[in-house]
Structure 1
Amino acid sequence: MVSHRVIPTSLREEMERSYLEYAMSVIVGRALPDVRDGLKPVQRRILYAMHELGLTPERPFRKCARVVGDVLGKYHPHGETAVYDALVRQVQSFTSRYPLLQGHGNFGSVDDDPAAAMRYTETRLAPLAHGALLGELTEDTVDFTPNFDGAQQEPAVLPAQLPVLLLNGCTGIAVGMATNIPPHNLGEVVGGLVALLRNPRLSDEALLQLIPGPDFPTGGEIPVGSGLREAYMQGRGSIPVRGVAHLEAIQPGKGRRRRNAVVVTELPYQLSKASWIEKLAEQVNDGRLSGIADIRDESDRDGMRVVIELRRDGQPEVVLQELFRRTALQSNFGAILLALVDGKPTQLSLRRVLEIFLEFREQTSLRRYRFALGKISQRLEVVNGLLQALARLQEVILLISQAPAAARAAAALQVQLGLSSAQAEAVLAMPLRRLTGLERQGLDTERQKLEAEQARLQVLLDDRNARVEALIRQLAQLRKRYGTPRRTRLLGQVAASAPRTSTETAGSAPHQAPRATLPEDGLLLVQADGQLRLASPLAVSRRRLEQPAPLASQPPPLRCLVPVHPEPRLVVFSALGRIANLRWERIGPHPQDLAHFLPEKLGGQTDHPVQLVRLGGSATAAGLALLSCDGHCRWLKAAAVLEAAARVRDTGRTVTLLKVRPRQTLCRVAPCPADVATLVVATSCGRLLRLDATPHLLQELDSPAGAPLLRLLPHEIIVGAAWCGDAGQVLLATRHGQLKRLPVEQLAPNRRGDLGQIGLRFLKRSDSLLGLWPVVEDPCFTLVTTDHRSGRFPWEQVPVQECSGVGVCLLPAGAALADVMILGETARLPVPQ
């Protein structure tokens, strides 16, 4: 019997077959990502296991050891080190441009420090992974396959709504091949996808304009050249990457003379800072690099800063050039766009990667629409059956009461009323409360909504143009939600060959070209939805902002309008009292979310942007008053604000100007012109406090916490503040739409800590004051309702009344006021949803 189990074979054939099977197993099962979701199998299994564990962004962190154990036991029968290393890389913000996981604990550093053991670290899904990768997993969008032992099911690919392969890039070494895909900016990639959807024959030149180059998480600079074009057109090329360094004059110590220094603030992607400093010190000690006196690493949690102090005889420009030439401060990124297409490793161009993703995205959308249509059809069948039973209620009751069993009752309903099996079961399970008139009305309303949704889904399934438009809208929403400003700057050939001089600041050179190309008469617009765009005076004039417009569903109105020449200095204040520069220089004609031009630290519900202010103009000539919701105020002179803005200019950092208490936020920033002398503060209960600009009020405090301005009642908060002249007026508005103009002279002067006086009498007990705005010379102001309708109204429609007046309501019955907008060079910003 043993002889029947022996199969003679050639050693050469057996080695070829076994090696080929091993190679394909490594290529498909470990090393290369799938072009559709951009993930390797181990990464996909980690995300799916965490999805099954319920580790969503709003849930608490869980031990990484628990996640690794689930992945090993259910889906990935390999070493635990490989799984944990893959998990760590998805957490590291300096490795992934858009991390798919959030971590709590030590996950390594740019100094090549290893992550702590998995029993000490915790993790959960990041919002991008939860919303854009796993959000449609339960809607029959992708196929599931058995795991290694057939006991579980796992997705063959995740229903990615964004091309993660380009967003985070990928590095992998297989048998006889390798992939090395650089990360890219989400906003630019979405722009390329939208352009290809609108025009599949888009030229390569236009596509490269939309996606001009990689965007590394560690920043750096990329000289635009032939290597970048080859990588995108042919799928393989060498991309030069250099760190960011500038020259400074530093003070080594008290009593010592100032010295020149080269300060490195960004390193090329995947370069270890500690290793680079160590090799740089070796070259200095060996005499291969001259002119360097000391090397210090002054990096902290706010950013990287490596100070290379020069000798007195050292020439800064020469040393900087030697650093780029002799060290890894300038290196090449070997791009290889290799990924799995239908299970086969394929070298792809940039266009092909986007086209394959769009084909996959359209397939998943079709499957999702069919799944949703099936669910709606099933529910609609049940609702129609319930309504039919209610229409013949007495007959239904009689049939059920006479039936000896539930099965006979269901059969009788199907025969006598013509119901289906599902409808009959629903009628038998119908509770008695469904017999009320209100429940009948609810069923009828539900049927109408289901029929409307059914018609919409049927249109999406039948009309490809409708599907394309829906996909474009979804991509725009994803860009608004997850997009961030570009970190890696792209340099032209001239800028790439010349080092920065001592008069240039870090990060300033790359922005000079875009600023120079802006039109002289261009206008920077901030819309009500938080979008930023550049427009010509002709385009703004077509909006007819000086003319009234009825309340209707219109394009988002304007919050702020600023000329781009002379170059404005724009800053944003956040809810936690921090200031950051608005890096608007790369703005284009198409609307982009304001968050794209702010540091990543300003985002989300906790520390969202609150107010945009233009510095250096007449509106801020005297200074700024920063008020928190609990009534604390800090006064800052214009010079102090300009100094704080200069410290964070183009560095991506923020500075705290008002330290708010726990569970409190910055609510208003009140710019003070030079010719006004009265500050009016409003609370949600309608109280107004008038404060004259005395030296005691305008005293600059060293403490960023500020000082109490007024006493607040329980549940009362500050809702508005404005500087006015003695003969000026303020506009008061409530959430139910009461509006009135109040002369400042009607308010009695107060001191810090006073209660003030009631400025508006509410008509409804549930009403509250929405805010307070200074009355300006513009002909109109804008009202925005909670249902996103807007309209422009002349000031004459709002009466001028004393404090006891109730004002007028310009809104239709049932409408609620969300915001009042007065166009200028400062604007309140919308709270992110």
Structure 2
Amino acid sequence: MADQLNILPAGQVVITALHSEVQRSYLEYAMSVIVGRALPDARDGLKPVHRRILYAMHELGLTPDRPFRKCARVVGDVLGKYHPHGDQAVYDALVRMVQDFSSRYPLLDGHGNFGSVDNDPPAAMRYTETRLAAVGHEALLSEIGEATVDFTDNFDNSQQEPVVLPAQLPNLLLNGSSGIAVGMATNIPPHNLGEVVDGLIALIDRPDLSDRALLDLIPGPDFPTGGEIIDRKGIEDAYLTGRGSIPVRGIAQFEEVQPGRGRQRRSAIVVTELPYQVNKAAWIEKIADLVNNGRIEGIADIRDESDRDGMRVVIELKREAQPPVILDTLYRLTPLQSNFGAIMLALDGGQPRQLTLRQMLQAFLDFRETTLTRQYRHELEKTDARLHLLEGLRLALDHLDELIDLLRNAPDGTTAKVTMQETFDLSDRQADAILAMPLRRLTGLERDNLQQEYEELAQRRDRLQQLLGDRRELLKALKKELRSRKKKFGDQRRTRIQSEAERVEESQHLAEILAEHQEEETVLEFTQKGYVRRSSPRAYQRRQSRQGAEAEAEFQEVEDVTLQVDIATTSQELLVLTREGKAYTLTIGDIPATQRQSKGVPLVNLLPNAVPSEAGVVAVQRVLTETALPQDLIMLTRQGRIKRLPLADFTHLTGRGLTALKLKEGDELAYTTLATTGDQLAIATSGGRLLRFNVDDDNLPPIGRAAQGPQALRLRKQECVVGCVRLQNERDCVTLISAAGFAQRLPTAGLPIALRGGLGTQAFLFKQKTDTLVAMTAAPQQGELTVVTTAGRVAQIALSTIPRQGRTTSANYRLGKFDRGERIESVTLTTVADNESQQSSG
């Protein structure tokens, strides 16, 4: 018996492979989470916790016509009977079913503080009260019973709970759902009840209805907070494939407001609706941070004038600001426009499936047809049983005198029952009913009521037999039921869907406004401490003339020093890569213009808030232009990994940025440059070795963004990469600088051309055994080096002062005098580039 049940004797040890046991246990855990916690059922659209809350409230009798009951009582019943998990998790689920800004059709009514769109927490469960809402009671629980849906044992086998609720409306689409399981997630948007019912009826009438016709009936999600969907492509992807990104905007209009007594009226942007699940308070705080950091110019004040009648956030503008331009900036930089990532994943037949819109509707229709069949069959059985009893009672009343004589002469009840059955051909149930019939049933009125009940039940039996025998009649009843629910609970759409013509008109209008404010030429200065300054060319020239045209060759302590200057226009984009391999784009016009003596703003502050300041150290800044886009971006890590990506992949990135390079632990992005097929790269190591190789598809092919990239060259122990330079002709030189301050300009023509991944050639001979190479830069004719020492001293060295030497000659030129223990920490080639040129940097 023990062998048959696979039960091991006590104390026996079974040797099992660890990976097999972990795999089996993990799969069991994953399926438990998927089926029993995180994903909704396609039939009633509920997760187990929501289903148990609704059923527990149904058992408590908390119908819409009954008084509210404390939420703590409901949570206690749910925990004790059906859901042995944390009380806060159950209460959070209950709260969400009450919130009208979270659920399109709240299934529960609440009394008390259940939170707000500002993400204010709800009151504790001992203070709040709840009961079933009308739509939750009638559309989910009115037909609950073992004859309608299956029931199963609860966690301790002491109670029975429904496997699924007999939903009369597709709650999965009406209120949507979101959840994270193991290895999968769901995020289904809410929809309008009237549109969904129209789609269901159309599918009943025409099962082969085209996708286009179905999308005309259900044009898109309908969020409880309103908003505006601006692109139908994401909707079509979600409905036809089960996954799509739906861009949603808040609703804003332009108004003239009075700032205060005696002040002139100003233009303002008034926001009355936000995208679904956007925290209003956090959004306002985000705008304030962008204004304080200089990312958004033209906003004078922000006021939240929301009240119980609705949302109203007033963004007061400065006189010179253009409202459409500011609004477009808010769309780009804040959650006023956000994407709803739809993942239509639900349990279908107990298995997680990514469903299309048609499949979701069909799953509900199949379930509802099954539910109605079970309900009508059970009702038919009860009707037949009652008619059977009524037939016996009618027979008894028709033969009342004979029946009375029989009963008067019978010695006991048992004999009377048997005699009555034989005489009138009655069943046991009919005989028992006659014997239990009270005398008042003999009155004329009672006899009429009995006859009326019999006729009504006979008609109902015929109708039930018709419904169960003819599927077309059953579907007619289903359509009638759906129309009734639509009439009672349907409402107007809240979320507007922008048409293609409106979107084109809006884009053209914004382009016309921007054209009125022509592009401005501007100068960008990037400093050694990570700051960026933006100024007009005239202001930059004035500042340069004050500072003096001659470079300071002596090492001295300075507060900050400019490393790179780019001349560009305000409409161009700036590509910023962090040392963690993340890439972000930034419109140059969004960089605040600096005042005369300003040191600028930290470039990392202009990146999204998700970039931590310590990880956001900038690896490279690059102006993206049409002439640069055909080129490729070469990225080189400190440990020698190299990667080539088309520069066009980095245009118009979203606020989340882009992972340009996957890094191993302890590695970081160190150097970047632009190159095209036919160019060459020179890579230097801290040991003084240089590797020169061609850039082509065989030697360095472009690879995907998720890849790490191959090894550029072999590194010895304690060695790292110190520079990467693009070479375009044989006359190019590179500048090599050691930690001890020795430097040389090396012609690259003498370096052999090798294959990527090689060892390289010793190109720098050290005069000191403890010396190492710290930098390699390009050597343009008019270039300057900005050299920073470990003591914090800075000097700018003209490249023309560094002698040219071959790779077999020891470097004997020193950049300056150094204190004891002072060494060179970093070297940067200071460049000035116009908006058509691109310089390498690291």
Q: TM-score range by the shorter chain?
A: 0.5 to 0.7
Query: Equivalent residue for 1:304?
Result: 311
For residues 503-514 of structure 1, the aligned pairs below 5 Å read none
1:172 to 163, 167, 179: 179
Query: Equivalent residue for 1:402?
Result: 409
SS state at 2:353 partner: strand
Query: Equivalent residue for 2:396?
Result: 389
CA distance in 1, matches of 2:459, 2:159: 38
For residues 16-35 of structure 1, the aligned pairs below 5 Å read 16-35=23-42
1:137 to 136, 144, 163: 144
CA distance in 2, matches of 1:25, 1:390: 61
Query: Equivalent residue for 1:646?
Result: none
SS state at 1:6 partner: coil
Spell out, residue by residue over 1:517-571, the C-alpha distance to the aligned partner (whole angstroms, 9 max, x if none). Answer: xxxxxxxxxxxxxxxxxxxxxxxxxxxxxxxxxxxxxxxxxxxxxxxxxxxxxxx
Query: Equivalent residue for 1:720?
Result: none
Question: CA 1:2/1:349 → structure 2, altered by over 3 Å: closer, same or farther?
Answer: closer
Does the 8 A contact of 1:321 with 1:499 survive in 2? no
Spell out, residue by residue over 1:477-529, the C-alpha distance to the aligned partner (whole angstroms, 9 max, x if none). Answer: 00000001100001012323555999xxxxxxxxxxxxxxxxxxxxxxxxxxx
Deviation of 1:451 (Å): 0.7
CA RMSD of aligned residues (A): 1.5
1:59 aligned onto 2:86: no
SS state at 1:248 partner: strand
Query: Equivalent residue for 2:529?
Result: none
Spell out, residue by residue over 1:52-81, the C-alpha distance to the aligned partner (whole angstroms, 9 max, x if none). Answer: 000000100000000000000000011111
2:270 to 251, 263, 275: 263
SS state at 1:408 partner: helix
Query: Equivalent residue for 1:377?
Result: 384
Does the 8 A contact of 1:320 with 1:499 survive in 2? no
Question: CA 1:500/1:274 → structure 2, altered by over 3 Å: closer, same or farther?
Answer: farther
Point out the structure with max Rg over C-alpha. 2
1:48 aligned onto 2:51: no
Amino acid in the other structure paired with 2:145: T
Amino acid in the other structure paired with 2:35: V
CA distance in 2, matches of 1:463, 1:285: 70
1:77 aligned onto 2:101: no
For residues 533-548 of structure 1, the aligned pairs below 5 Å read none
1:454 to 443, 461, 477: 461
2:250 to 243, 247, 271: 243
Amino acid in the other structure paired with 1:437: G
1:10 to 11, 14, 17: 17
Query: Equivalent residue for 1:367?
Result: 374
Which blocks of at least 5 consecutive residues in structure 2 are unaligned? Answer: 1-7, 510-842
CA distance in 2, matches of 1:411, 1:307: 87
Amino acid in the other structure paired with 1:186: L
Deviation of 1:254 (Å): 2.5
Does the 8 A contact of 1:37 with 1:164 survive in 2? yes
1:345 aligned onto 2:383: no
Which blocks of at least 5 consecutive residues in structure 1 are unaligned? Answer: 503-833
Amino acid in the other structure paired with 1:417: F
For residues 453-532 of structure 1, the aligned pairs below 5 Å read 453-496=460-503
Amino acid in the other structure paired with 2:293: D
For residues 765-804 of structure 1, the aligned pairs below 5 Å read none
CA distance in 2, matches of 1:398, 1:145: 52
CA distance in 1, matches of 2:415, 2:212: 71
For residues 262-661 of structure 1, the aligned pairs below 5 Å read 262-496=269-503
CA distance in 1, matches of 2:165, 2:415: 46
Query: Equivalent residue for 1:721?
Result: none
Question: CA 1:281/1:399 → structure 2, altered by over 3 Å: closer, same or farther?
Answer: same
SS state at 2:378 partner: helix
Deviation of 1:407 (Å): 3.0
Question: CA 1:119/1:107 → structure 2, altered by over 3 Å: closer, same or farther?
Answer: same
Deviation of 1:225 (Å): 2.4
Deviation of 1:414 (Å): 1.4
2:75 to 59, 68, 84: 68
Amino acid in the other structure paired with 1:424: A
2:217 to 201, 210, 215: 210
CA distance in 1, matches of 2:58, 2:455: 34
Deviation of 1:447 (Å): 1.2
Amino acid in the other structure paired with 2:226: G
Amino acid in the other structure paired with 2:52: R
Question: CA 1:374/1:3 → structure 2, altered by over 3 Å: closer, same or farther?
Answer: closer
Question: CA 1:209/1:398 → structure 2, altered by over 3 Å: closer, same or farther?
Answer: same
CA distance in 1, matches of 2:503, 2:106: 30
Spell out, residue by residue over 1:211-255, the C-alpha distance to the aligned partner (whole angstroms, 9 max, x if none). Answer: 000000000000232211010000001011110000000112222
SS state at 1:138 partner: coil
1:219 aligned onto 2:214: no
Does the 8 A contact of 1:245 with 1:265 survive in 2? yes
Amino acid in the other structure paired with 1:183: P
Amino acid in the other structure paired with 1:271: V
Amino acid in the other structure paired with 2:444: G
TM-score (normalizing by structure 1)? 0.59
Amino acid in the other structure paired with 2:333: R
Deviation of 1:381 (Å): 0.8
Amino acid in the other structure paired with 1:418: D
Query: Equivalent residue for 1:253?
Result: 260
TM-score (normalizing by structure 2)? 0.59
Deviation of 1:139 (Å): 6.8
CA distance in 2, matches of 1:114, 1:261: 31
Query: Equivalent residue for 2:113?
Result: 106
CA distance in 2, matches of 1:492, 1:208: 14
Deviation of 1:404 (Å): 3.6
Amino acid in the other structure paired with 2:90: V
CA distance in 1, matches of 2:150, 2:9: 43
Query: Equivalent residue for 1:154?
Result: 161
Spell out, residue by residue over 1:313-372, the C-alpha distance to the aligned partner (whole angstroms, 9 max, x if none). Answer: 111111111111111111111000000011110000000000111000000000111111
Question: CA 1:3/1:79 → structure 2, altered by over 3 Å: closer, same or farther?
Answer: closer
Deviation of 1:204 (Å): 0.4
SS state at 1:103 partner: strand
1:117 aligned onto 2:124: yes
Spell out, residue by residue over 1:287-326, the C-alpha distance to the aligned partner (whole angstroms, 9 max, x if none). Answer: 1001000000000000000000001111111111111111
SS state at 1:47 partner: helix
Amino acid in the other structure paired with 2:167: A
CA distance in 1, matches of 2:407, 2:473: 47
Question: CA 1:134/1:358 → structure 2, altered by over 3 Å: closer, same or farther?
Answer: same
Amino acid in the other structure paired with 1:454: R
CA distance in 1, matches of 2:9, 2:310: 70
Question: CA 1:110/1:498 → structure 2, altered by over 3 Å: closer, same or farther?
Answer: farther
Query: Equivalent residue for 1:92?
Result: 99
Query: Equivalent residue for 1:184?
Result: 191
SS state at 2:466 partner: helix
CA distance in 2, matches of 1:3, 1:48: 42
Query: Equivalent residue for 1:678?
Result: none
Deviation of 1:402 (Å): 3.0
Amino acid in the other structure paired with 2:159: Q
CA distance in 2, matches of 1:122, 1:457: 41
Does the 8 A contact of 1:386 with 1:427 survive in 2? yes
Does the 8 A contact of 1:317 with 1:499 survive in 2? no
Amino acid in the other structure paired with 2:445: L
CA distance in 1, matches of 2:74, 2:280: 30
Question: CA 1:181/1:354 → structure 2, altered by over 3 Å: closer, same or farther?
Answer: same
Amino acid in the other structure paired with 1:226: K
Spell out, residue by residue over 1:2-28, the C-alpha distance to the aligned partner (whole angstroms, 9 max, x if none). Answer: 775322211111111111111111000
